[in-house]
Structure 1
Amino acid sequence: MKIDYRSEIDKIRNSLKNYYNKQFKSEEEEYIENKKVKEQIKKLIIQVYNDSNLSEADRGYTIKVGVELLAKNTGCAEDAEIAEDILDCLFDDMKILSQEDVDNFYEQYSCRRWY
């Protein structure tokens, strides 16, 4: 069964849009939702990495899109903390991301404009 990763990425984009438009009762509830939505990106990257039906080029491209989606939705310190946890897991622990992927994240990272 072939998975349509573009459609999966669009679903995550919609989840992110919904998260940003939602009102939360507490900061804790907002943090939990933020982490949950961004964990979808992590799960997608793991799924893509393990999908033997994808060519190396498609796998690399889709992982790059996922990393850029995470970067473009990382703005505040809380976002950065969530993103760091995801990157640490995918790069250090699971060895899924390359150094190039991590560098790409920091090049796309939304907070970078403030430095």
Structure 2
Amino acid sequence: MKIDYRSEIDKIRDSLKNYYNKQFKSEEEDYIENKKNKEQIKKLIILVNNDSALSEAERGYIIKVGLELLAKNTGSAEDGEIAEDILDSLFYDLKILSQEDIDNYYEQSSNRRWD
């Protein structure tokens, strides 16, 4: 079964947009929803990495788009912590991301303006 990764990315993008327009009853509820949405990017990257039907170039492109989406939706310290957990897992634990992927993420990250 071929997965339409563009539509998966669009779904994640929509859930991130919807998150920013939501009101939450508590900070904990907000955090859980934020983390859940960003974890979708991690799941997508793992799925793409394991999809043998994709070429190396296609895999690299979709992973790059996923990381850019994560970077563009990382602004607060809490966002940064969630993103770091995702990046650490994909880089150190699962060995999916390369150093170049990590560098590209930080180039896209809005936190960079404070460097």
Q: TM-score, normalised by structure 1?
A: 0.98
Aligned pairs for 1:1-115 (under 5 A) are 1-115=1-115
The alpha-carbon deviation at position 13 of structure 1 amounts to 0.2
* C-alpha distance in structure 2 between counterparts of 1:105 and 1:7, whole Å: 21
Structure 2 portions without partners, runs of 5+:
none
Runs of at least 5 residues in structure 1 that lack an aligned partner in the other structure: none
- Matched residues in 2 for 1:47 and 1:80: separation? 23
| Aligned partner of residue 54 in structure 2, secondary structure | coil
The ranges of structure 1 where at least 4 consecutive aligned residues each deviate by more than 6 angstroms after the TM superposition are: none
- For 2:42 and 2:13, the matched residues in 1 are separated by 13
Partners in 1 of 2:110 and 2:49 — Cα distance?
Answer: 25
Identical-pair percentage: 83
Give the residue type in structure 1 aligned to 2:99. Q
Partners of 1:18 and 1:72 lie apart in 2 by 15
CA RMSD of aligned residues (A): 0.6
TM-aligned CA deviation for residue 114 of structure 1: 2.7
Q: How many residue pairs get matched? A: 115
